[in-house]
Chain A
Amino acid sequence: MSGGVQFPVRVIETEALSPTVKRLRLARRDGQALPPYSAGAHTVLTLDGGTRLIRNAYSLLGSTLSGGAAYEVAVLRSPQSRGGSAFIHDHLTVGTDLSLSAPINLFPLNRTARRHILVAGGIGITPIAAMASELAALGLPFELHYAMRDIASGAFAAELAAQHGDRLHLYVSERQERLSVRDILARQPLGTHLYVCGPERMIEGVMAHARIAGWPESALHAERFLAPEGGEPFALRLARSGISTVVAEHETLLEAIEAAGVDAPYLCRGGACGQCETRVLVADGDLLHADHYLTDSQKSCGQTIMTCVSRLRGRELVLDL
């Protein structure tokens, strides 16, 4: 089955960290431990949303390098949600059964770096907080910069302040506090690595500053999970399976393929890992590439598409599936 090993789990705890962020604690139904993971890892939750299966990727909180009894994720109720995060907020309670994938880390700490600058915006704090706690446990030097709209939405601020003291720098835009990337990046010793997770515009801004300041690419790390957006519906034909279907307005290409009963490859479901790259046979219309995996030239030549976040604007797409 695609998506790697699946573990049947149950919600054993829920907590509203803020009006828009809900924490879930998940443990295996058979009481066994879940696999160890490193900070920055994510898991894909699969749950029955009634009319459809919901599969969303979430960063894992904390880190259990020694293996853990339970995993925790924090879910933001996304205003652009196609239903996944709203469903989790409205319907998931203690006792709900779901499954999760083995952890995957596309945003690991660089273990050869000498110093780590962690920058988070909003819910982007989830992998970044895990990194901070791993670095603190290892006794490695780091700075944690956390920008948020208002104190109420800074779900983790109090806990992080207690844990990391003056290594934590908070920026609340409601209080006119601005994160100055230029000042953070100046005077960092050789061997410093930078990690950013947050809204796309923030990631782009921080990365642009770092490049202008002459930082080499290998020292720059970002997590760019995309919440796939909907779009206009289009016809889909899977050539090898001989299946014709329609990708609806609020459905992703990958979800339509799965709904048609085809076990297509995927891993992160956020346009980052490259696992779902699929060959395009015919595209009657324009491919709307939304991933961060294909290069610009690969996107323009249009031979493949990442089914998790990209779609077609046009009449029909024929895939080699």
Chain B
Amino acid sequence: MQPSPIKSRPLYGTLVPVRQATRHIAIAEGEGASAVTEAFRGHDALSRTIILFSPAPRSTDCQQETLLASLACEALHVASGVEDLLAELVTTLSAATMGTRLYVSGSEDFIGRVTSEALHQGIDADAIQAEHRGAPTRRVQCVHCKGFTDGVSASPAPCAHCGLHLLVRDHYSRRLGAFMGVCIDAEAPGEIPPAETFGA
């Protein structure tokens, strides 16, 4: 990833279980399962680890799920989609205590949604680790209609709510877990440059 001059643009690392944590919650989507597997395989933290997983959208592959099941963690929840997975996360975090660490891996928009939800549940930002796997798709908030568009892979992109063509900026809101999208043809309606895909 090219370093962005925009300070709010999130940077992601590699998941490393924090040895002294009393509980570990790993949450992954699609290829994020590999990051969780690589970080936790054989780790003595597994007996205190809950894994929440949802396959990538429109995927029928069960390989990731099998991989996670082979870890033999304390509990593995597989959800059918991100909405269900987030609901499960809220339930898990509402009963969690200090000493809990959260590990997130998947596409960029997935990381954003999970992180924002987890912060709303009161976890400290430095108790969350994130590793980017899979598509470099972004969650974007349209600054005009305030609607969110998930899975945005290029800029400019149409807003799923008001239809404006949005320039996707590197400016990021941790509260919303989304990048900022601004109308690209406000000055010259209809002049829309070709879309450029986000780099990995």
Hey, which bits of chain A sit against chain B, CB under 8 A? 114, 185-192, 211-219
Contacts and interface: CB of A to CB of B under 8 A. Distances in A.
A214 B127 CA distance: 9
Interface of B: 18, 20-23, 93, 96-101, 121-127
A189 B97 contact: yes
Q: Which 9 A-B pairs have the closest CB atoms?
A: A191-B122, A214-B99, A214-B21, A190-B122, A216-B127, A216-B126, A188-B98, A218-B126, A216-B124
B126 A214 contact: no
Contact of A219 (B21, B93, B98, B101): B98
Given A187-B97, A189-B96, A213-B98, 12 more contacts: A185-B99, A189-B97, A189-B98, A190-B100, A190-B123, A191-B124, A213-B20, A214-B23, A216-B124, A216-B126, A218-B124, A219-B124
A222 to B, nearest CB: 16
A190 B121 contact: yes
A214 B97 CA distance: 10
Contacts of A214: 18, 20-23, 98-101
Given A185-B98, A214-B100, A215-B98, A191 B123 contact: yes
Nearest to A188: B98
A213 B18 CA distance: 11
A174 B121 CA distance: 41
A190 B20 contact: no
Contact of B98 (A190, A212, A217): A190
Nearest to B18: A214
Contacts of B127: 216
Contacts of A213: 20, 22, 98-99
Given A211-B20, A212-B20, A214-B18, A190 B126 contact: no
Contacts of A191: 121-124
Contact of A218 (B22, B97, B122, B125): B125
A192 B126 contact: no
A24 to B, nearest CB: 38
A190 to B, nearest CB: 4
A192 B123 CA distance: 9
Nearest to B102: A190
A190 B21 CA distance: 13
A186 B96 CA distance: 11
Nearest to B122: A191
Contacts of B101: 214, 216
16 contacts: A114-B122, A187-B97, A188-B98, A189-B122, A190-B98, A190-B122, A191-B121, A213-B98, A213-B99, A214-B18, A214-B21, A214-B23, A214-B99, A214-B100, A218-B125, A218-B126
A188 B20 CA distance: 16
